[in-house]
Structure 1
């Protein structure tokens, strides 16, 4: 059987629209981005592929709704679920399989229709209780007003030995450069936060370890030779700067931790010892990615998290069981994906005003990163700041559910004047959700948008011969 895809494909159009989507996939397809996954393909590309499987020529147009009602599409290694979402929008039944559990859980959450208002009510209840338990560990005193305020994030440096002396490494002493050229930076001797000056009045010789920037070649007049400390990974980091906002003036403030701040951190470290996380459950097993961790003396995944981050995770886990399964799944995945922005593998890229507070998340380079300046986020920060639950709920769930109810596509080139004067056009009649079934026998030609999810190896799927129309 010959299908249109065998003979033609709109390559130029596919390239144009994919180039736009590639760097902002979560904006173009927010409903499929509830949880982190790797090597996601552009949804627009798979929409074009699936459109070439449509029998009616008039419905093969990229902007035409539907076209695959009654067909069964299989993706045997679904990963981020791109094929499933694009096919179900076109009216198809979909079968997705993957060896890993996260793709199955994410697809189940995002393909199941859940009332957004119900999700928002549940999230508000969850967030309020979680913030009550966790926020006290992320409080500080504003140096401008003297009022208590929430910490947005804390910047750490990593302790090492250099030429036999203790030092603290940071990516850069400069923390921020304003548009007018003024700077905020650290004193390398006393660790004070300096505003619009690089000169500090502290003695040349202090009692604190020197701060050294990444790339330092010499120290104390000799070639720099660094050695990592043989202590748990999270203990290698020491807090240097707290970033907050003045409750009165609202501007971003950088402050060195004071005695009160250090006491809160000590309390969190003490609480860590009583958290019921079994070390044996988080031992790092041998593997390709593990080889990035174990040579650095990291033997347990818990060591990648600060004490406050583990306290956050513990309380979130305690709160989740009270919710109905569909709600719990969405909130659980939200917490899980928040860990990408809440570990001691996160770095700081907020140096420029344009990216104030931006987090270099754990997998920003598709592998583990080991920053000198680590960023400990406040996951329950009340503002919609980078990597917080408030921001993630907005971008991953609220925006995703709204988009699923009325998907839209980017309009490019000559299509801009023909279809719409706007850059995006709603695809009327499409929905990005379906009904889960237990087998392909629940997928009849008379029904549409049923989905079946299978976790396990795809080498031998439990599907009747000839039960699917296309494998994509």
Structure 2
């Protein structure tokens, strides 16, 4: 390799990067992430513009024109860049775009699958013909299960189905609904839509209205006077107060749900429907009958093929976040209702039949689609859209989840067609990448072809056995954070279906790998010392594989002294 590509003094180490402009870039990218990183959900991704700037700065002389290098002449051909904690892949994707020979390693095979998809996105063929075929074989056959009619009998297109958890009061044994409020949606400063607490009839109200009397049953509903506040259910019959999580622990059964409302639009042909055309409907007997038909069809599929759905228990031991099992879930499949499982099972069956390249790309779109097609999603009333699982990095219990019509086009956040289009947008970006321009907008930049194809594989950062000593020019990474939830606990959610489609190793093999992930618990001195020692071992391996004048650059953000102390000990 040409040593001149990594100058002994460079823009990065001289502290001469244009930080003000880069902060503005980062703010923009935070609001509108690069399409390449939208292929599949990953956690706490670092920004592409930041890593590109670090890479360009590392190979530029202190007096170089940074912006010319950033947009035009930045070239890392012949430079080997390693990330031993690759996660969502930002470091190696940005390095490969600049022509580096990139190596990414992670203990989690799911992270590796996501990163590989990002690195190969430019080679993807058009997936729309395959999407159309899947719509014919799966979507159209499921369409009757999502059919709804308006009050005038007109056929409508369902967008969202609103469910609520029902519980039996441990004191009086009467069953109640766990609504946090009685508002369905809001249009800022203009109006809001609410439903009757007794009969569920939807009502359009003034934006400032706090209560109403139902035009159907005359019951008065106070919008914010609902049974659940801060996760605690107050029985409307006897006033007994019980945390929902306590009910889950006592029953050891997953939540029971009741369908109570639907959001629908006029029939569409793929166009996005204006909000003003949407309507809310009370869930009627016909809608519940569709759910019953879905349950029957699901049972028939399972009887015909016991492997129709993946069967994976939620591992209870050693989890830092126990909320799933505390709320009564024991199987990953219990996070979905029967209609969702029928859709997912039939779609996965067809995806498994596809050629490998298509199966991998569409399988990842399917996996990403799981975050919007489960019973841990909520409804953002002010935005009139679904909020996916992992909008916060946790398995948050949602007492009033929303079910998406999964085959909608144009309307509906996270539908399967939209998930496919997300992959296609990533592919288009990989083929013709752009960077933010300093005065707004974007500039096209050239993707430099690496001299060696990127390598991504599962492994342990403390044992970089597949990387030769003195072979790496630069290590660019974002090491695990002290006292944070282990991301492999969150990505467990994706394992059953990805394994079902043959896209990741079986769960037992993955579990053996991720058990070696670095983590620590605050206020536990032994755990902190172990974290620091293990991270120190990883940095020792980094030193071994780096060339004598190689660079180590990493990001680390933490709000506690303990976190920084652990990092200091690891580097010592």
Q: How many Å apart are 1:381 and its aligned residue?
A: 1.8
**1:341, 1:377 within 8 Å by CA — same for their partners in 2?**
yes
Q: Distance in 2 between matches of 1:116 and 1:283?
A: 34
**2:316, 2:325 within 8 Å by CA — same for their partners in 1?**
no
2:326: which partner in 1? 295
Give the CA RMSD over aligned residues. 2.7
1:2 to 1, 8, 19: 8
1:383: which partner in 2? 410
Q: 1:323 to 1:221 in 2, by over 3 A?
A: closer
Q: Distance in 2 between matches of 1:219 and 1:35?
A: 42
**Relative contact order (C-alpha < 8 Å, sep 6+): which is higher?**
1
Q: Distance in 2 between matches of 1:122 and 1:247?
A: 24
SS in 2 for 1:64: helix
Mapping of residues 16-31 of structure 1, within 5 Å: 16-25=24-33, 29-31=34-36
Q: How many Å apart are 1:426 and its aligned residue?
A: 1.3
- Per mean C-alpha deviation after superposition, the further-off stretch among 111-120 and 447-456 is 111-120
Q: Distance in 2 between matches of 1:252 and 1:132?
A: 22
Q: Distance in 2 between matches of 1:60 and 1:393?
A: 36
Q: 1:98 to 1:273 in 2, by over 3 A?
A: same
1:219 has 2:219 as partner: no
Q: Distance in 2 between matches of 1:304 and 1:65?
A: 49
- Per mean C-alpha deviation after superposition, the further-off stretch among 164-173 and 92-101 is 164-173
Q: 1:101 to 1:59 in 2, by over 3 A?
A: farther
Q: Distance in 2 between matches of 1:246 and 1:281?
A: 39
SS in 2 for 1:322: coil
Q: 1:73 to 1:279 in 2, by over 3 A?
A: closer
1:270: which partner in 2? 296
Q: Distance in 2 between matches of 1:332 and 1:191?
A: 38
1:76 has 2:76 as partner: no
Aligned length: 435
Q: How many Å apart are 1:232 and its aligned residue?
A: 4.1
Q: 1:289 to 1:264 in 2, by over 3 A?
A: farther
2:359 to 328, 339, 346: 328
Q: Distance in 2 between matches of 1:9 and 1:294?
A: 50
- Per mean C-alpha deviation after superposition, the further-off stretch among 263-272 and 309-318 is 263-272
**2:86, 2:106 within 8 Å by CA — same for their partners in 1?**
yes
Q: 1:33 to 1:3 in 2, by over 3 A?
A: farther
Mapping of residues 139-288 of structure 1, within 5 Å: 139-144=147-152, 146-162=153-169, 163-164=171-172, 165-178=174-187, 181-196=190-205, 198-200=212-214, 201-202=216-217, 212-214=227-229, 219-220=236-237, 222=239, 224-225=241-242, 228=247, 230=251, 232-234=253-255, 236-247=256-267, 251-274=277-300, 275=302, 276-277=306-307, 281-288=312-319
1:430: which partner in 2? 447
2:494: which partner in 1? none
**2:366, 2:419 within 8 Å by CA — same for their partners in 1?**
no
Q: Distance in 2 between matches of 1:383 and 1:195?
A: 25
- Per mean C-alpha deviation after superposition, the further-off stretch among 88-97 and 243-252 is 243-252
Q: 1:114 to 1:42 in 2, by over 3 A?
A: closer
- Per mean C-alpha deviation after superposition, the further-off stretch among 70-79 and 385-394 is 385-394
TM-score with structure 2 length normalisation? 0.70
Q: 1:308 to 1:223 in 2, by over 3 A?
A: closer
Q: Distance in 2 between matches of 1:221 and 1:290?
A: 32
1:393 has 2:459 as partner: no
1:51: which partner in 2? 56
Deviations 1:428-457 (A, max 9, x none): x226xx6xxxxxxxxxxxx62621111122
1:124 has 2:117 as partner: no
Q: 1:96 to 1:58 in 2, by over 3 A?
A: same
SS in 2 for 1:409: strand
1:134 has 2:142 as partner: yes
SS in 1 for 2:127: helix
**1:269, 1:307 within 8 Å by CA — same for their partners in 2?**
yes
Q: How many Å apart are 1:2 and its aligned residue?
A: 3.0
Q: Distance in 2 between matches of 1:2 and 1:448?
A: 23
2:37: which partner in 1? 32
**2:162, 2:403 within 8 Å by CA — same for their partners in 1?**
yes
1:469 has 2:473 as partner: yes
Q: 1:404 to 1:376 in 2, by over 3 A?
A: same
Deviations 1:320-378 (A, max 9, x none): 133221111010000001111111010111x22xx12x112111111011112211112
**1:152, 1:243 within 8 Å by CA — same for their partners in 2?**
yes
Q: Distance in 2 between matches of 1:9 and 1:392?
A: 40
Structure 1: which 5+ residue stretches go unaligned?
417-421, 435-446
Q: Distance in 2 between matches of 1:177 and 1:95?
A: 48
